[in-house]
């Protein structure tokens, strides 16, 4: 039986060449009078985006402040800094320029400014739920996280080594401007890490037990094959507009809830495993996912066998083997082969890290302490998390 569901994606997408030039009018349309511009620094300056945004806001008579220096695995301290700036300047709109790190930082600042007397980190520790968020807009410069159309937000507390998410529709951006040309200058490693993250957002909803919708499966499978095809193209042709456009749109669709509609649940255990790696070792998110996924898949595939068989034949286009188990394992191996083709690691050692027994114990304990037993492909405990980390080494 098809599961009941709700689908809510309120973000306005403005997609195509030169669309970033519309930023001033859009901010004004959504009521912004004092904007906090949140960005990383290098790409925003190199692409001329920062100057363009300032000029566009000035043309509309909109005041602004800046918060630069956002890094991958964005830091809680930067969120606090943004909240302080927002309080001092009367910020009423957040504008993120960049990828998931800038967007998630803007969302977290929006949470903090909407409830200025509460500690925003409580939302990420799940000790309370959000009740409001200031409006957020985006100019996307990397296709990866899908944060530009999602309710998700992930922040890292460097003091504690925790990387935690907060998911609430309050933080869905009001609009996102997406020009694929803005991603041309990305290093291939970042591009391919982004493609991997897009795939994983879809696969976390695909490898589940329970009710399914045939149409949702077809959308997910089409998205995965499209991203894989164009990731290979971009590996050789980084300035291919059509390939950039396909991947950028896939990034948004992969994480706005569409590819999970009708499913009983999602999984997201690989993401939880990687978040601990990111919090402890500051690794690139997509690369970390590629490094952990194969070990997770081999650990759970027997409990989610029909899904792995379908994935093998429908997505990886591998011919069925003598048994379902052989077919599933062939699909996992084919996925790792694809990751290698685009320069992604498939083990923790290839990722460049070697967690100690103590570090593995700490990461597994952190997941269990925050979420308890989790997983839809297979329900996993702390001991299971430890086993997967060991297998990934």
The 10s digit of each residue's pLDDT in 228-283 is: 999 999 999 999 999 999 999 999 999 999 999 998 889 999 999 999 999 999 99
Residue 3 has pLDDT above 80, yes or no: no
Sign of the alpha-carbon dihedral angle for 113, 114, 117, 121: negative
Residue 145 has pLDDT above 80, yes or no: yes
- CATH 3.40.50.1970 corresponds to the domain 12-182: yes
**161 φ/ψ sector (left φ>0, alpha ψ -120 to 50, else beta):** left
Q: What is the pLDDT of residue 2?
A: 66
Task: Yes or no: say if 179 and 132 are a contact pair by the CB < 8 Å rule.
Answer: no
Residue 41 has pLDDT above 90, yes or no: no
Residue 25 has pLDDT above 90, yes or no: yes
- CATH 3.40.190.10 corresponds to the domain 188-392: no
Q: What is the pLDDT of residue 391?
A: 98
Q: What is the pLDDT of residue 207?
A: 98
* DSSP per-residue codes, 25-63: HHHHHTT-SEEEEEE-SHHHHHTTHHHHHHHHHHHTT-E
Residue 284 has pLDDT above 70, yes or no: yes
Paired strand residues for 154? 165
Residue 376 has pLDDT above 70, yes or no: yes
Domain ranges of the chain: 12-182, 188-392
The 10s digit of each residue's pLDDT in 157-168 is: 999 999 999 999
Residues 294-320, mean pLDDT to the nearest whole number: 98
Task: Yes or no: say if 100 and 143 are a contact pair by the CB < 8 Å rule.
Answer: no
Residues 6+ positions from 248 with CB-CB distance below 8 Å: 15, 140, 143, 178, 180, 183
Q: What is the pLDDT of residue 190?
A: 96
The 10s digit of each residue's pLDDT in 55-101 is: 999 999 999 999 999 999 999 999 999 999 999 999 999 999 999 99
Q: What is the pLDDT of residue 380?
A: 98
Residues 6+ positions from 268 with CB-CB distance below 8 Å: 204, 374
């Amino acid at each position: 039986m098809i599961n009941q569901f709700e689908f809510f994606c309120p973000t306005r997408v403005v997609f195509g060449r030169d669309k970033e030039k519309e930023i001033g009018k859009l901010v004004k349309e959504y009521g912004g009078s004092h904007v906090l511009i949140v960005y990383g620094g290098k790409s925003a300056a190199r692409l001329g985006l920062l100057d363009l945004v300032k000029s566009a806001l000035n043309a509309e008579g909109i005041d602004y402040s800046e918060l630069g220096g956002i890094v991958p695995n964005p830091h809680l301290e930067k969120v606090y800094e943004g909240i302080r700036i927002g309080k001092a300047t009367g910020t009423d709109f957040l504008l993120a320029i960049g990828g998931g790190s800038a967007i998630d930082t803007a969302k977290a600042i929006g949470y903090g400014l909407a409830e200025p007397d509460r500690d925003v980190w409580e939302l990420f520790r799940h000790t309370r739920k959000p009740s409001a968020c200031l409006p957020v807009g985006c100019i996307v410069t990397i296709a990866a996280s899908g944060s530009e159309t999602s309710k998700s937000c992930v922040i890292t507390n460097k003091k504690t080594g925790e990387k935690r998410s907060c998911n609430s529709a309050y933080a869905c951006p009001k609009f996102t401007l997406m020009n694929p040309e803005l991603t041309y200058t990305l290093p291939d490693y970042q591009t391919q890490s982004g493609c991997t993250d897009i795939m994983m957002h879809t696969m976390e909803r695909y490898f589940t037990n329970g009710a399914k919708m045939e149409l949702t499966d077809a959308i997910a499978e089409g998205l995965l094959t499209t991203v894989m095809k164009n990731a290979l193209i971009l590996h050789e042709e980084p300035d291919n507009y059509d390939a950039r456009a396909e991947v950028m749109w896939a990034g948004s669709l992969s994480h706005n809830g569409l590819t999970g509609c009708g499913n009983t649940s999602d999984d997201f255990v690989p993401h939880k495993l990687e978040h601990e790696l990111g919090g402890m070792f500051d690794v690139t998110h997509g690369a970390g996912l590629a490094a952990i996924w194969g070990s997770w898949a081999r650990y759970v595939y027997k409990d989610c066998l029909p899904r792995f068989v379908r994935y093998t034949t429908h997505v990886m286009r591998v011919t069925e083997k003598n048994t379902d188990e052989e077919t599933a394992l062939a699909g996992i191996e084919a996925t790792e082969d694809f990751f290698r083709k685009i320069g992604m690691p498939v083990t923790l050692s290839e990722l460049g890290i070697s967690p100690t027994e103590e570090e593995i114990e700490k990461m597994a304990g952190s997941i269990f302490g925050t979420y308890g037993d989790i997983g839809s492909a297979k329900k996993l405990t702390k001991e299971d998390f430890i086993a997967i980390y060991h297998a990934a080494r």
